[in-house]
Amino acid sequence: MTAFVLVNISLFAILGATALAITRMRALYEATMLTALFSLVTGSLFVLLDAVDVAFTEAAVGVGISTVLLLGVLSLTRSREAVTPRRRRLPAALVVLFAGGALGYAAQDLPPFGSATTPVRDHPVTETYLVQSQQDMGIPNTVTSVLASYRGLDTLGELVVVFTAGVTVLLLLGPLTRRNHPVKKDLVLADYRVLRVVSGVLMPFILLFALYVLFHGDYGAGGGFQAGVIFASGFVLYGLVFGLDRVQQVLPQAVLWVLIPLGLLLFMGLGVATVLLGGSFLDYDTLRPDDTAAGQRLGILLVETAIGLTVATVMTSVFFSFTGRGASR
């Protein structure tokens, strides 16, 4: 057994143990922390499988912003799970066993783990993406080329889902134009000098790293989704430490209402512009007819910026809404 396989088996065992612990745990705060651990180990597995972009997203979304939002939700409700009546456990267990069995049966058709003859390696589309994309766009990160150009329409659909989900959550929590309730003193961590100083020092570096991830996504792991979450995490950290009033002085709610649809409008407007220039929807070649590779890079940069803008503002707005409701027990 090679070291690579041994590490994968060890991480998978940790995933299984963590999942089992979560199902057995009634304390919701501890379960949230274990969920973050589950995402961290999953990201490590993605790194071993050379899916660095997916691992980056899992770390930023699963470990970072999702954990914070879950903690924000728990601050509005009880900290322990209600006891489920025994009569409801059997149907749930049957559903889990059926779904797990179906997935296990379907997995029998998958190629052997780590095989060099998988369809991913042998299919002609793979050669097109890995080789042709370099000639068409000159972007080293093939993942960025695929997401932002080849399947740009699909990525636009994903951004619409993020926008719709975010706006729905905000409408359920109440209008952002309404002044939020004051945050209770026990939710403000600014009294701890170490937290105050460290978070103040880290804030500009977090935002700078988000810009790096955004503009460096065509050369390495990163892009608009990851950058947007990192941007949001910076403001979330500032709000957790200094309180909601302080962070809203830097980023008012009215500004967020304007910025949330701006990214989506930029994405869709870019597609309309390419049509008006005589090309297909989201055909970036029309942006620079004399240099199609430069046109592709320009279009991808605008698309990534639009994605980062919408993701960052939606995540930040959701956190503001949860925090503004105050804690209740």
Q: What pLDDT was estimated at residue 176?
A: 45
Q: What pLDDT was estimated at residue 192?
A: 72
- Examine residue 5 and state whether it is found in any structural domain, yes or no: no
- Examine residue 8 and state whether it is found in any structural domain, yes or no: no
Residue with tokens 């007819």: 289
**CA–CA dist 70, 264 (Å, integer):** 26
- Examine residue 47 and state whether it is found in any structural domain, yes or no: no
- Whole domain around residue 141: which residue ranges? 123-329
What's the whole-model pTM score? 0.80
- Examine residue 319 and state whether it is found in any structural domain, yes or no: yes
pLDDT over 90 percentage in the chain: 23
Q: What pLDDT was estimated at residue 265?
A: 94
Q: What pLDDT was estimated at residue 17?
A: 93
- Examine residue 262 and state whether it is found in any structural domain, yes or no: yes
- Examine residue 104 and state whether it is found in any structural domain, yes or no: no
Q: What pLDDT was estimated at residue 95?
A: 92
- Examine residue 17 and state whether it is found in any structural domain, yes or no: no
**CA–CA dist 311, 216 (Å, integer):** 17
Split into its structural domains, the chain has a count of 1
User: What's the token pair of residue 30?
Assistant: 């501890």
Q: What pLDDT was estimated at residue 186?
A: 45
Q: What pLDDT was estimated at residue 183?
A: 45
Instruction: Spell out, as residue ranges, where the chain has pLDDT lower than 50.
Output: 176-177, 179-187, 327-329
